[in-house]
Amino acid sequence: MKWGACALASALLVAACGGGGSPSVPEGSASAGSGTSTSGSGTSTTTPAVATPVANDLIVSLAKSVLVNSGSDQATLTVTAVDASRNIVASVPVAVALDSNATFTPDAGTTTGANGVYTGKIAIGSDKANRLINYRVTSGSLVKTGAVSVTGTVIESSSTPSKPRPGESVVLRVVVRDSAGNGMAGAKVNVSGLPGIAIPAQTTDAAGVVNVGFVAPVVGIYPVAIEGGGVTSSLALQVQSAVTGTVAPAVGPVSGASEIATPVVVAANTIGSTANQSEIRALFYAANNVPIRDMRVRFSLQSTPLPGESIASGSSVVYSDVTGAARTSYIAATSSSPTNGVVVRACYDLNDFAEGTCPNRVDTTLTVASSPVSLTIGSDNVITKNTSGIQYIKQFQIQAVDAAGNAKADVPLSAVVDIDGYWKGSNPPAPPTLLTRDIWVTNSSGVAVFTSKWCDNEDLNRNTVLDAGEDTNQDGALTPRKSDTALSFVNGVAKTDSSGLALMQLSYPQNLATWLRVKIKVTAGVSGSEGEATYTYVLRAAEEDATNGAFRIPPYGSSLGQPSPGVDANGEGCRTPN
């Protein structure tokens, strides 16, 4: 633990971790002795068995009480064995059991160390569902119990048509995502709330999607309940009569309209399959970022037609929901497209408009790919500066190979950078691992000191708009800013060279170095099962700035909240900009 903190501190140009002293031998601990016995003319020496140390009590603490379900998050469980006088006891056997498909990995051995401490990591395992993980710690007759909660599941849903008529066929598209926005495969989804319609449970595909079909009931508004991944969501399904104009006009004026495709590169479908799809989402906002509900939207393809491609909503009108989003899906073609060769248009208006007309529009592009390619992102230990000296530049190299491992030339690439979150504290943070959140450092006296508070990116849906409930630190803006980092391809060359290599760079102001963790994602314009790669990076500083760099002043505040042993229980440190 100490070694890891010091090692990364050095890598991030952060000074000094304290050393540890030699632990004393606990009072009452057994030690090996020897005895001599004589029988006849022979003398033999025997060594009596050493008694297993026994604790009088166990002190159990968690580094965090909540795990996000991206799959990489862990909670450190710390067990300290003490005797009746509250002195530490070494070599005490400890066993940890978990339920709910979680996993526990001991840091070392099955007994407390010389400092009386036993540690290990609790992880969610392969089950990403929101749930409570119960743990049971035992040592002899001593038993301690507790729980860790798993959170992060989000359900997105939309219907086609969005406002059906009685007796009309409806497809309800449900996407179950984890905290990182990735689809959760294998999640059981239950849909209820439609009178007289029993819908059997379904399981999400590799993209976290299920499509539920049913026939619309009589006119009315039905609160459809959707359960999956340990959470429940709802969709207000409005079944309207055949009379037009039954939905009131949307309330404008429109101050912002955009359209995005997720993912931007989708694999080609096999003939007869619709498994490979990209979600198309149009967003509409009025003044002060107020979402516009019931915006009329028609999606259509504007690019050269490809075999087998289609828009899930067809020519039907899709109405934006309470978040201002109108959704449909692009069903991938059975052949590849040029890079950004598929153009999806969203025609929209506050009022009803005739099919074939387009009062207002936004477009987005995506790529259909069919040739498998594998990507790797690599880096070195070099940080450079721009001419002003204010901006740090970190370069990354992308390598592309085909299924045989041969370098793949001229592969078109796209890249995005996402800020996971930020640290607060008095000194630049030195996380012992790339995925560490709250940071505790053991000082020279063997005491764990809370040094850096981790706060998640406030932009939960990553739309760069301050939505209700996102301003955790109450400073009136999203923290951190999307513009805190910038990713680009060197010289604008967004494809691999003859050696299958491409170069990109991440730039960020010097004062933010060490305080942010980002995730870089690169996608190939020719895609298969491994057509993308990700790289997690804690912003580093240049060695020459180690003693007086601008990053030594906390850019996001230094308040750590009120931590109880091993955990900032209420996240207080993130609820203030100080």
Q: Provide φ and ψ at 358, rounded to 5°.
A: -145, 85
The per-residue pLDDT for 83 is: 95
pLDDT band at 492 (very low <50, low <70, confident <90, very high): very high
Domain 57-151 annotated CATH 2.60.40.10: yes
CATH code of the domain made up of 154-239: 2.60.40.1930
Tokens linked to 29: 């601990």
Which whole number is the average pLDDT over 237-256? Answer: 82
Burial of 317 (0-12, 13-18, 19+ CB in 10 A): buried
pTM attached to this predicted model: 0.57
pLDDT band at 20 (very low <50, low <70, confident <90, very high): very low
The per-residue pLDDT for 183 is: 84
pLDDT band at 88 (very low <50, low <70, confident <90, very high): very high
Q: Which of 4-8, 38-42, 359-363, 449-453 has the highest mean pLDDT?
A: 359-363
Question: What is 492-528 written as a DSSP string?
Answer: G--B--TTSEEEEEEEEEGGGTTTEEEEEEEEESS-S
The per-residue pLDDT for 385 is: 95
Q: How far apart are CA 462 and CA 466, in angstroms?
A: 10
Percent of the chain with pLDDT over 70: 87
43 compared with 248, residue with greater pLDDT: 248
Candidate from 5-9, 365-369, 552-556 with smallest mean pLDDT? 5-9
Percent of the chain with pLDDT over 90: 56
SS3 195: coil
Cβ(494)–Cβ(502) under 8 Å?
yes
Does the bond joining 161 to the residue before it have cis omega, within 30 degrees of 0?
A: yes
Residue 2 predicted with pLDDT over 60: no
Cβ(70)–Cβ(180) under 8 Å?
yes
Backbone conformation region of residue 275, classed left if phi is above 0, alpha if psi is from -120 to 50, else beta: alpha
Sheet harboring 202-203: ordered strands across? 202-203, 188-192, 220-228, 231-239
Q: How far apart are CA 306 and CA 246, in angstroms?
A: 36
- DSSP class of residue 153 equals -
Q: How far apart are CA 564 and CA 561, in angstroms?
A: 10
Q: Closest Cα partner for 381 from 537, 551, 549?
A: 537
Residue 30 predicted with pLDDT over 60: no
Nearby residues of 235 by Cβ (< 8 Å), 6 or more positions away: 157, 158, 159, 172, 223, 224, 226
SS3 sequence, 225-294?
Answer: EEEECCEEEEEEEEECCCCCCCCCCCCCCCCEEEEEEECCEEECCCCCCCCCEEEEEEEEECHHHCECCC
Q: Is the dihedral of CA 468, 472, 474, 479 positive or negative?
A: negative
Q: Closest Cα partner for 131 from 208, 210, 66?
A: 66
267 compared with 148, residue with greater pLDDT: 148
The per-residue pLDDT for 244 is: 53
pLDDT in tens, 290-344: 999 999 999 999 999 999 999 988 998 999 988 899 999 999 998 888 878 999 9
pLDDT in tens, 286-295: 998 899 999 9
pLDDT band at 263 (very low <50, low <70, confident <90, very high): confident
Cα distances from 296 to residues 325, 343, 432, in angstroms, run 11, 20, 51
Across the chain, what does the average pLDDT equal? 85
Q: Where are the domains of the chain?
A: 57-151, 154-239, 256-369, 374-575
Which whole number is the average pLDDT over 535-558? Answer: 92
Which whole number is the average pLDDT over 426-442? Answer: 83
SS3 490: helix
pLDDT band at 150 (very low <50, low <70, confident <90, very high): very high
The per-residue pLDDT for 49 is: 64
CA-angle at 295, arms to 294 and 297, nearest 5°: 120
Which whole number is the average pLDDT over 64-84? Answer: 91
Which whole number is the average pLDDT over 503-522? Answer: 96
Which whole number is the average pLDDT over 429-434? Answer: 82
CATH code of the domain made up of 256-369: 2.60.40.10
Residue 570 predicted with pLDDT over 70: no
Candidate from 64-73, 357-366, 479-488 with smallest mean pLDDT? 64-73
Q: How far apart are CA 127 and CA 120, in angstroms?
A: 19
Q: How far apart are CA 500 and CA 482, in angstroms?
A: 30
Tokens linked to 435: 């995925």
Residue 484 predicted with pLDDT over 80: yes
Which whole number is the average pLDDT over 156-169? Answer: 88
Half-sphere exposure of 89 toward its Cβ, with a 13 Å CA cutoff?
23
pLDDT band at 354 (very low <50, low <70, confident <90, very high): very high
The per-residue pLDDT for 372 is: 65
Which whole number is the average pLDDT over 117-130? Answer: 94
Sheet harboring 103-106: ordered strands across? 57-62, 74-82, 117-123, 103-106
The per-residue pLDDT for 438 is: 85
The per-residue pLDDT for 245 is: 47
Question: What is 355-371 written as a DSSP string?
Answer: TT--SEEEEEEEEEE-S
Q: Provide φ and ψ at 545, rounded to 5°.
A: -100, 15
Buried b / exposed e across 8-25, counting CB within 10 Å, b at 16+?
bbeebbbeebbeeeeeee
The per-residue pLDDT for 394 is: 97
Q: Provide φ and ψ at 310, rounded to 5°.
A: -165, 165
Question: What is 40-105 written as a DSSP string?
Answer: TTEEEEE-PPPPPP--SEEEEEES-SEEETTS--EEEEEEEEE-TTS-B-SS-B-EEEE-TT-EEE
Q: Provide φ and ψ at 40, rounded to 5°.
A: 65, -130
Does the bond joining 359 to the residue before it have cis omega, within 30 degrees of 0?
A: no
